[in-house]
Structure 1
Amino acid sequence: MTTVCVGRRRRGEMVVTRLPDNIKLTPDRNLDFVNHSPSGFEIGYRGSGPAQLACGLLLDYYDDTQVAREHYIAFRNRVISQLKCDGPAACWHLTGEEIDATMATITDDVVALPDGGEPSPSLPENWRTVTRPDRRVFQRADCDHYIVLGDGTDGWLAVLCSQGDRAYPAPLASRTVSDDGDVERAIRDLADESNGLIEPQEGEC
């Protein structure tokens, strides 16, 4: 039986229902690993509400947290940002076949954070080390901050970033470390700086 997600506005709120089960989708299921818009879903632009909806739809359809986490930004940019509530029915429809077709085109378009990572003994408890073949990445477990370590002009460059409601990550702070410098200390400093900007949520770490 074909899966169809239908969205419509009800008293200003974007209400999303999965048919034929007639199940209402909410941000609650995916807020523990993607917390862009706890107040609800949105469509039609590249922002927080559409990001939360993209993650929610992928998680509901595939029932796979890694797939949702890896691809929700690309899915938001390509699909959710283009949805509109217009026409006589004032609603939008998205079928399972359309989701599959889109995902087949973005399997290589993965955001910087492919998984939740593993706890790191050298970082605060709300940070995780993320496995990447090309660079070292550290991710906050309770918000969308992450640290990327790569080659700089004169050594190492560690950058604290935030995805937020942007199509591309925004740098928040950085540290340049010489080849013989203390790279781990620079990463810890950036993690502490992030924790100072946004306090860890109770129960998340």
Structure 2
Amino acid sequence: MNGNARRPTSNAVQAEALAKSHDDPVEYVGFRVDGQAVVLNLTQHQRLTPDRSLDVVTHSPTGFEWGYTGSGPAQLACGLLLDYYDDTQVAREHYIAFRNRVISQLKCDGPAACWHLTGEQIDAAMATITDDVVALPDGGKPSPTLPENWRTVTRPDRRVFQRADHDHYIVLGEGTDGWLAVLCSQGDRAYPAPLASRTVSDDADVERAIRALVDESNDLIEPPEGEC
């Protein structure tokens, strides 16, 4: 967060960086005012709004929520990670897992009718989920064969192509009859949802299959001609 050094984001040092505490204690609190969810960063005496996190993912423009796995909690998970770590990549990679393990469990119980979440608790939770990431483990790199809004990264068991401007990514791994390329979307789900796939034989053009799935991604999110 502001006032602290940025966290390193390379795959080799990210887990270690997230395990370190901030120099100063950080605490967030959530409660309701006339039924509206309100989240405060008590350390900075500021209200946390979805505005900054909406530049990363768009799940709930109308506001935050907690206590279940849905759009509002997903936006809060991204907003909290972005505010605490001040790192867009970390927020984008881990907000779904953070929502499922932390935000979905928050409740406004007790006389104060609010929840509290400390920086130490965030660090502890992130230490358990930093290996549970599908896309962009090291930020990705441009691919000479794909459009500029796609990034590619090689992992030991598969290659991942992440779309930078939308919640789409392509996973390439070994299938039963060759290579299997799957276009996925995380959305509000605990597990990625497959949108399209291609099975490619070992001697076929794998890059061509990837480009075909990129085109399918465009078809899924871009409106037909003549529509706004």
Give TM-score, length-normalised by structure 2: 0.79
Extract unaligned runs of 5+ from structure 1. 201-205
- Residue 115 of structure 1 deviates from its aligned partner by 4.9
Alpha-carbon distance in structure 2 between the residues aligned to 1:56 and 1:188: 32
Extract unaligned runs of 5+ from structure 2. 1-23, 224-228
Counterpart amino acid of 2:204? Answer: G
Of 163, 166, 169 in structure 1, the residue corresponding to residue 189 of structure 2 is 166
- Residue 170 of structure 1 deviates from its aligned partner by 0.8
Matched, 1:109 2:132: yes
Matched, 1:6 2:6: no
- Residue 52 of structure 1 deviates from its aligned partner by 1.8
Note the alpha carbon deviations across 1:82-131, whole angstroms, 9 max, x for none.
01124332221111122122223333323434254233232233222234
Note the alpha carbon deviations across 1:133-180, whole angstroms, 9 max, x for none.
331111111111100011111111100001000011111110111111
- Residue 47 of structure 1 deviates from its aligned partner by 1.9
Where do 1:75-86 residues align within 5 Å?
75-86=98-109
Matched position secondary structure for 2:51: helix
Q: Hey, what does 1:203 align to over in structure 2?
A: none
The 3 A distance-change label for structure 1 pair 142 and 105 is: same
Matched position secondary structure for 1:150: strand
Q: Hey, what does 1:121 align to over in structure 2?
A: 144
Q: Hey, what does 2:203 align to over in structure 1?
A: 180
Give TM-score, length-normalised by structure 1: 0.87
Matched, 1:15 2:32: no
Q: Hey, what does 1:56 align to over in structure 2?
A: 79
- Residue 198 of structure 1 deviates from its aligned partner by 0.7
Alpha-carbon distance in structure 2 between the residues aligned to 1:18 and 1:111: 29
Provide the alpha-carbon RMSD of the alignment: 2.0
Of 56, 59, 64 in structure 2, the residue corresponding to residue 36 of structure 1 is 59
- Residue 11 of structure 1 deviates from its aligned partner by 4.1
Alpha-carbon distance in structure 2 between the residues aligned to 1:27 and 1:131: 32
Q: How many residues align?
A: 200
Which has a greater percent of strand? Answer: 1
